[in-house]
Amino acid sequence: MAEEISREAGRAGISRRQFMAATGATLCVGGAVANAAAQRREIEPELSAAVQMQFMRPGQLEKVLREFPAVYVPFGLIEWHGRHLPLGNDALKAHGILVKTAEQFGGAVYPPVYFHEGFPQASMIPVLTALFARIKNTGARVILGVSGHNVQGQIDMIDKALAPVVADKTVVGMGLWEVTLSAGPESGTDHAAMWETSNMMFFYPKLVDLAALGEGPLAPDMKPPDGIGGRDPRKYASAEAGRRNVELASRAIGRKARELLESLAPDQRSFRLPAISPGNWWMI
């Protein structure tokens, strides 16, 4: 592994130490911790049940949070996404990206939340505050609310709901769009166009029906009858574009989760329950 790291650093034109700092690689006696290699491994579309709360047994959740006390909460809604994509696209997208984050960096993923900024906020924000407080009481130190519905109101809703939960500085959190930290030529978003279609082609290819769009020109700028905003998915979308988008987004979110955990006082960075068991914990 040490030789591999040196070769990779040479290709990048940086020192071995710089490469290790950039990739998160660390060496130990008798071999190497596989962090850097794991992050270079190609992302797969399958979503591991081992990091999704609804599939975990109590001991599994406790183990995951002891190793990295972060919980990721995906947000979306049921919304028109062209004739070719599922209505739940936004939450499915955010959820998939967060599962990939947890697979690589640790932590647990809460099931998708299909509440959005279109609901009365005077009612919605206290409900979400209660959800985040329950996650905090489960032992998490980092809470990330990640919205696949990319409007500012979503982030405002998440951040307002988190504010009273993180006020005591024993836990830290923030709201993000799925590409807030990774947007660029290979990682972007739109509405039911190239990027969102590519994400679904990567995660859920059986849910995508490009033939439903027909062969004629699409109305621009999300106008009827297509309601699509962005590059024509029939020409530009692909599972490979989705894979790269997911790869960049998930890794950027994971790095942010680490950064947030390290921003806490040293005595506040560990799982905060004696155990996930009756007497210490019951539900979120």
What are the residue ranges of CATH 3.40.50.10310 in the chain?
Answer: 49-268
Burial-class residue 255 by CB neighbours within 10 Å (0-12, 13-18, 19+): middle
Kindly indicate the confidence band of residue 42, based on its pLDDT and cuts at 50, 70 and 90.
confident
pLDDT, tens digit, 9 for 90 and up, residues 123-157: 999 999 999 999 999 999 999 999 999 999 999 99
Q: Which residue has the higher pLDDT, 209 or 1?
A: 209
Average pLDDT over all residues of the chain = 89
pLDDT, tens digit, 9 for 90 and up, residues 237-254: 999 999 999 999 999 999
CA distances from 64 to 31, 39, 107, 270, 280 (A): 24, 18, 6, 12, 17
Q: Which residue type, as a one-letter code, is found at position 31?
A: G
pLDDT reading at 51 higher than 90:
yes
CATH superfamily, region 49-268: Creatininase (3.40.50.10310)
Residue 112 confidence (pLDDT)? 98
Q: DSSP per residue over 95-111, as a string? A: HHHHHHHHHHH--EEPP
Q: Is the pTM of this model over 0.75?
A: yes
pLDDT, tens digit, 9 for 90 and up, residues 159-211: 999 999 999 999 999 999 999 999 999 999 999 999 999 999 999 999 999 99
CB 192 within 8 A of CB 81: yes
Residue 276 confidence (pLDDT)? 97
Q: DSSP per residue over 160-214, as a string? A: HHHHHHHTTSSSEEEEEETTTTT-BTTB---BSSHHHHHHHHHH-GGG--GGGG-
Q: How many angstroms separate the most distant Cα atoms in the chain?
A: 62
Percent of the chain scored above 90 by pLDDT?
A: 85
